[in-house]
């Protein structure tokens, strides 16, 4: 059994590729069924966020394993393998465990130490294991990563400074608009990222917020908290002209804001500039919008520079966190190795007990036939001893014939002779 982690993220692939490899909630069960039907795959968890798509797997090793799994990923999404090959990373066993711990702790995020990823990893684990094949080693790896992330949050300052994609979006808005107290902001979506954006904007005294969401009831609680108006996605076309800033983060598979929609809004605004920040993957705003005069479009990749500016105070904490990850990875791999030898120990004990039971049954039968008890006990002890030492004796003899002093030493040690 081998533990694997493979995928793409913001470091290895642009958003144009990442958005084509995402697993939306409505295809996740189908994807897992297909993945687990592969003969070498024993268990799997799919993690798909705006910045990464990763498969965590328990597999049986075989030839061309990497090619087989990459082909499955490309076939499922209808992609050319050459488009994905150079962006795909691959980690096995120790490296896979360490990678998951780093991901769950925010050490591999675009925003170092951002807390949202832990919730996303937990949800991915819950969604992927519900109704699908469970593998104890894979489950234990995820549970361990959750505890490691918690330990890092407790023992380091990795989450001390307020940096996130949401924070970066608000920072960008404040850089372009000197004051937010006189602007209208349209937020599209009502998920966790938009919640964070709305709270950041409220802290900076934005004058007016409008929240557009497919389900207005879901957006109502957030709107009540931050003092915003709620509209439906179908209302965006006629209300877009009111917004100075548009920040969007939905799970829509298709763009919500198109070039024509923005052109009409700009005309109605008499070409007053609009800032559009698209945090979604797949993208919510058509890329062509960025070519319009007075429309300033930024995507998740564009936020990197802002995010880097806020990273300095987390670097020292990250060094400490990496030490924790290395320690916890060693401990988990030691546990994993112990699990593999436990099966061997169980087999060895079962074999010894079977030998004992067979010889004891024969001894009892001999006693019932009236044989001398002392003679029966002597024969039982002699046969039991010979049966138990037979295999180790052959191994010792073979090691001696091979001139393998190291194996001889290991065998003597195992038999309690050294």
pLDDT of the residue at 160: 67
Alpha carbons 141 and 139: distance in angstroms, whole number: 5
74 is catalytic: no
pLDDT of the residue at 1: 83
pLDDT of the residue at 337: 86
pLDDT of the residue at 161: 63
- Strands (DSSP E) contained in 60-207 are 89-92, 184-188
Q: Report if pTM > 0.75.
A: no
Instruction: List, for residues 133-146, the tens digit of each pLDDT value.
Output: 567 889 999 999 99
Which residues of the chain, if any, have pLDDT below 70? 133-134, 160-163
Cβ atoms of residues 255 and 277 within 8 Å: no
How distant, in Å, are the alpha carbons of 88, 202, 212, 297, 410 from that of 208? 43, 9, 13, 21, 75
Alpha carbons 402 and 408: distance in angstroms, whole number: 10
Compute φ and ψ for 268, nearest 5 degrees: -65, -30
Instruction: List, for residues 218-240, the tens digit of each pLDDT value.
Output: 899 999 999 999 999 999 999 99
pLDDT of the residue at 99: 98
Q: CB-based burial of residue 48 (10 Å sphere; 0-12 exposed, 13-18 middle, 19+ buried)? A: buried
Residues near 65 by beta carbon (within 8 Å), at least 6 away in sequence: 40, 59
pLDDT of the residue at 168: 83
Instruction: List, for residues 317-369, the tens digit of each pLDDT value.
Output: 899 999 999 999 999 999 988 887 877 888 889 999 999 999 999 999 999 99
């Amino acid at each position: 059994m081998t533990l694997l982690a493979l995928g793409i993220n913001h470091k290895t692939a642009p958003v144009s590729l990442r958005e084509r490899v995402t697993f939306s909630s409505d295809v996740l069960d189908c994807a897992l069924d297909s993945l687990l039907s592969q003969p070498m795959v024993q268990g799997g968890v799919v993690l798909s966020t705006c910045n990464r798509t990763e498969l965590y797997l328990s597999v049986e090793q075989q030839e061309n394993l990497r090619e087989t799994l990459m082909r499955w990923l490309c076939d499922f999404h209808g992609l050319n393998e050459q488009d994905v090959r150079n962006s795909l990373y691959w980690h096995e066993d120790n490296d896979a465990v360490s990678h998951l711990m780093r991901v769950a702790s925010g050490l591999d995020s675009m925003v170092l130490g951002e807390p949202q990823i832990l919730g996303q990893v937990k949800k991915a684990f819950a969604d992927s294991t519900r109704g699908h094949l469970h593998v104890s080693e894979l489950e234990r790896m995820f549970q361990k990563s959750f505890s490691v992330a918690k330990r890092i949050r407790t023992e380091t300052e990795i989450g001390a400074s307020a940096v996130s994609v949401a924070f970066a979006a608000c920072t960008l808005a404040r850089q372009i608009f000197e004051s937010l107290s006189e602007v209208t902001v349209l937020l599209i979506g009502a998920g966790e990222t938009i919640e964070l954006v709305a709270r950041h904007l409220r802290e900076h005294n934005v004058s007016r917020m409008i929240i557009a969401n497919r389900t207005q009831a879901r957006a109502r609680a957030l709107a009540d908290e931050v003092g915003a108006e709620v509209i439906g996605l179908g209302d965006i076309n006629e209300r877009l002209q009111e917004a100075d800033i548009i920040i969007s983060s939905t799970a829509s598979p298709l763009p919500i804001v198109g070039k024509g929609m923005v052109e009409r809004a700009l005309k109605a605004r008499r070409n007053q500039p609009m800032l559009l920040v698209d945090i979604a993957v797949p993208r919510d705003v058509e890329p062509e919008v960025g070519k319009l005069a007075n429309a300033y479009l930024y995507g998740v990749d564009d936020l990197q520079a802002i995010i880097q500016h806020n990273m300095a105070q987390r670097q020292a904490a990250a060094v400490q966190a990496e030490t924790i990850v290395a320690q916890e990875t060693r401990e988990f791999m030691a546990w994993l190795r112990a699990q593999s030898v436990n099966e061997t120990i169980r087999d060895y004990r079962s074999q010894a007990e079977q030998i004992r039971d067979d010889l004891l049954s024969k001894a009892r039968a001999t006693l019932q036939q009236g044989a001398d008890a002392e003679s029966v006990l002597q024969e039982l002890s002699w046969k039991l001893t010979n049966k138990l030492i037979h295999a180790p004796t052959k191994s010792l003899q073979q090691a001696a014939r091979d001139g393998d002093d190291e194996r001889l030493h290991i065998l003597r040690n195992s038999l309690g002779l050294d």
